[in-house]
Amino acid sequence: MVEIDRQASIQIQDEHVPGFLMHYKEDHSPMSIFHRHLGYEIVWLKDGEALYVFEEKVYRLKKNTILLFKSSEFHRVSLKEDAVYERVVVMFTEDFLSFNHPVLSGFSGFLDQLPSPHFMLDLFVWHTEKLEVIMDNLLYEYENKDNWQQSAALELYLLELLLFICREIKDENKRGHHLTIEQQQANPVAVHDKIIRVINDVWNRDWSLDDIAQRLHLNKYYLCHFFKKEFGVTIHEYILQRRIFEANKLLTDTETPVHRIAEYVGFMSASSFIRRYKEKTGVTPNQYRKKQERIRRNMR
């Protein structure tokens, strides 16, 4: 099924217009870089597997798992070439709803109380049928913009989805499905988490592959092969993407001079930062900043 993007009002790469976006995909076309956007994201993996990478946490999604997270978190999807990847994605901002509902407050409050605002939920097989109905209703309304009171219907079905998810989380907590220390250590993404944490500790400093490998107690050649295979990019590319991501936040949210931003994100000089930034984004840092300023003015 092709991606549906009517009414798409959430822009990737730090841009934001209040709204709601939903799509169903079966192809291998995730965002190729780390990115962020305001609001929340709900990913239901209907089949296959995928690696979702955050700043200090990695999740391996499998069939009938749901991943919830704040979309402002630095994130990326990594896929294996031969793996199935069938998913439904819902993105929304709080101001999409015309009123402040306690279900939304409960959903956002749950994410806020976590050490990091993302959470993976495994569904029981017999619960997926109810989720399928809710998602089908959302997709139907989303596709048919001429429906009477379409926006109101989308709000109702979105709230039903949040209610379903929050109840699943509470039921899971009641069942006491918490991992023991031994289970946590056997977690298939535990190594991924360790690698990401070490790399994110050095992303804006002078770093060497030898130092990272030593801290992880891994052979550096094995580390390079493993990282590229699992995360879809090299360690060097990951760090560069992180630097540009952090630079974008400063360019958008502050008036920090470009040369100071270059220093903060780990470049030796402003000129090398500007050159690499333009190579990766197609624009200079100042051009990006001016574009964000225009977007903010247009939103007022």
pLDDT above 90: residue 8: no
In degrees, rounded to 5, the angle at the alpha carbon of residue 1 between the alpha carbons of residues 161 and 159 is 10
CA distance 211 to 297: 45
Q: What is the pLDDT of residues 105-140, one digit of tens each?
A: 999 999 999 988 999 998 876 688 899 999 999 999
Mean pLDDT check: name the lowest of 15-19, 175-179, 194-198, 260-264: 175-179
Domain ranges of the chain: 20-175, 190-299
Q: What is the pLDDT of residues 211-265, one digit of tens each?
A: 999 999 999 999 999 888 888 789 999 899 889 988 998 998 899 999 999 999 9
Q: Can you give the pLDDT at residue 9?
A: 37
Burial degree of 195 (CB within 10 A; 0-12, 13-18, 19+): buried
Burial degree of 82 (CB within 10 A; 0-12, 13-18, 19+): exposed
Q: For residue 283, give the nearest of 259, 254, 255, 251 by alpha carbon.
A: 251
Cβ neighbours, 10 Å, residue 122: 14
List the CATH code of the domain at 20-175.
2.60.120.280
Q: Are 73 and 131 contacting, i.e. CB atoms less than 8 angstroms apart? A: no
Q: Can you give the pLDDT at residue 256?
A: 94
Q: What is the pTM of this model?
A: 0.76
* Of the options 1.10.645.10, 3.40.50.1000, 3.40.50.300, 1.10.10.60, the CATH number for the domain spanning 190-299: 1.10.10.60
Q: Can you give the pLDDT at residue 197?
A: 86
